[in-house]
Amino acid sequence: MEERYSLVDHPASFKTKGLKEYPESSRRFLDNSIPRNGTEIEALNQIVSKYAGRKVRLVMAGEGSTNSIEVVIIDWQAEKGNTRPVYQRFAKSPFPSDYIPFAYHQKDDGRESLYLCEKLDTPSPWIRVYNDESSDGWVGHYFGNSIRNCGIIPYTMPEHYKTRLATDVVKELEALAVDADGSKLIAAGFENLDHLHYALESARGNIAEGMAEAQAMLDAINEKMNAQMNQNVAAAKAGGLLDPIQGVSMEDWAAANAKIAGGTSLDEVLRILEIEKPIWDDVSAQWMARMSQDTTFAISKVYGEAFTNPNMGRFAAASNGSSAGSSAAVEKVKGDFELYIKIMCHQNIGSTQGIDASSILKQYGLSVVDWSAASAHWSPQMASNLELAMKMSDLMNRYNAEFAAAAPATAASDIDF
């Protein structure tokens, strides 16, 4: 005997928990006219009376979540003679005495299922599924809630939108929603504005779900790559690849290069490192050679971290070559992704006009080293956060066009061919 709960006690019961268990985006579209305090058969009859032959979304509760699926509501009395294989199999099975089919679903691969309402009214009945995997002793899995505790959303996404990119669908539906022209809505396959808003929420939900799945995969890949890189760095240290060269560590050499890029004189760098220029030249050549021969990129990783955070080791007490105002500018860019992309695009378009990147950076109060620090902050996030990556594409299109339009004409632009 399977374990059962009363409707009041079952953890998934909407009768107890109410509609708060439905996602906020779906709640507004639910048909609240379906009775929840009557019998199973009363709820079944009303659903069939209203929606027989129509495709709707059936929303079912789980413990802490909801499941939903598009189904066609059927009137079993009218449909039990249907020649569909799953109809005929169910009609000949021993289950009709205990269950009434109320919905039909077909998967993309052609497999068919019937959703069943259990005739038993108390204790809590189950919704069951009958499909190709069902046998004479089993009626598929159960969902833990009765038909009285399910929700019916009387709308589905029009078929011609289902094979298109969700991002394109969202843009088109947003434009339709703003226009709110009744004839255009009907031409697009919608019953009314509410139907359109449901489709829009569904498309946005598909994007969010797809992004979440892709983000989870990307997180797993990045975690694996980071673990491998940390192993590479550990192996490089153990193998002596990161041993100092003539007393200059990789971190000191990287920090020194960052200081020079930021405007600190070579003489000042040599003074801090306490070496002469010939030694500096030799140290630089050897570190470059090691880096170029390191196929694991462990040295490059250590170099990049030190270059973007040069106030370490022997340079900890030295100025980084940036003013206090420049430091504030860096923090501003680190806190504003759109500003970061704007500056990046400004430099990109400027380079096509022969404008030096450093002069553009100065307009934002930044030095080359400041920009490296800002890039070190945002680059890993763009590589690991799909939402930022998508936002980046739109922002780049916008700012590239803006700076290209504002760029001064070149001499060649006056030549008419």
Is the same domain home to 272 and 302?
yes
Least confident of 51-60, 282-291, 334-343, 378-387: 378-387
Is the same domain home to 279 and 370?
no
Q: Where are the alpha helices (DSSP H) in 274-356?
A: 277-293, 298-308, 324-334, 337-352
Is the same domain home to 197 and 139?
no
In terms of Cβ atoms closer than 10 Å to its own Cβ (0-12, 13-18, 19+), residue 293 is exposed
Is the same domain home to 25 and 57?
yes
- Domain membership flag for residue 4: no
Position 220: which residue type?
A
Half-sphere exposure at residue 65, Cβ-oriented, CA atoms within 13 angstroms: 3
How many domains does the chain divide into?
A: 4
- Domain membership flag for residue 31: yes
Q: What is the pLDDT of residue 159?
A: 87
Residue 387 clears pLDDT 90, i.e. is over it: no
- Domain membership flag for residue 141: yes
Is the same domain home to 21 and 51?
yes
- Domain membership flag for residue 394: yes
**Cis bond upstream, residue 244 (ω within 30):** no
Is the same domain home to 150 and 164?
no
81 or 121: which leads in pLDDT? 81
Is the same domain home to 69 and 138?
yes
Is the same domain home to 49 and 140?
yes
Is the same domain home to 186 and 305?
no
Is the same domain home to 273 and 389?
no
Q: Where are the beta strands (DSSP E) in 135-249?
A: 151-153
- Domain membership flag for residue 142: yes
Q: What is the mean pLDDT of the chain?
A: 83
pTM for this entry:
0.60
Is the same domain home to 27 and 92?
yes
* CA dist., res. 150 & res. 394, Å (int): 40
Is the same domain home to 134 and 168?
no
- Domain membership flag for residue 104: yes
* CA dist., res. 212 & res. 244, Å (int): 44
- Domain membership flag for residue 224: no
Paired with 104 in beta bridges are 72, 114
SS (H, E, C) 235-296: HHHHCCCCCCECCECHHHHHHHHHHHHCCCCHHHHHHHHCCCHHHHHHHHHHHHHHHHHCCC
Q: What is the separation, in whole angstroms, between the first and last Cα of the chain?
A: 89
Position 74: which residue type?
I
Paired tokens of 313: 């080791």
Domain that holds residue 367: 324-407
Q: What confidence category does residue 380 fall into, taking pLDDT thresholds of 50, 70 and 90?
A: confident
Long-range own/partner contacts, residues 52-58 (CB < 8 A, 24 or more apart): 52/78, 54/154, 55/156, 56/152, 56/153, 56/154, 56/155, 56/156, 57/152, 57/153, 57/155, 57/156, 58/103, 58/115, 58/150, 58/151, 58/152
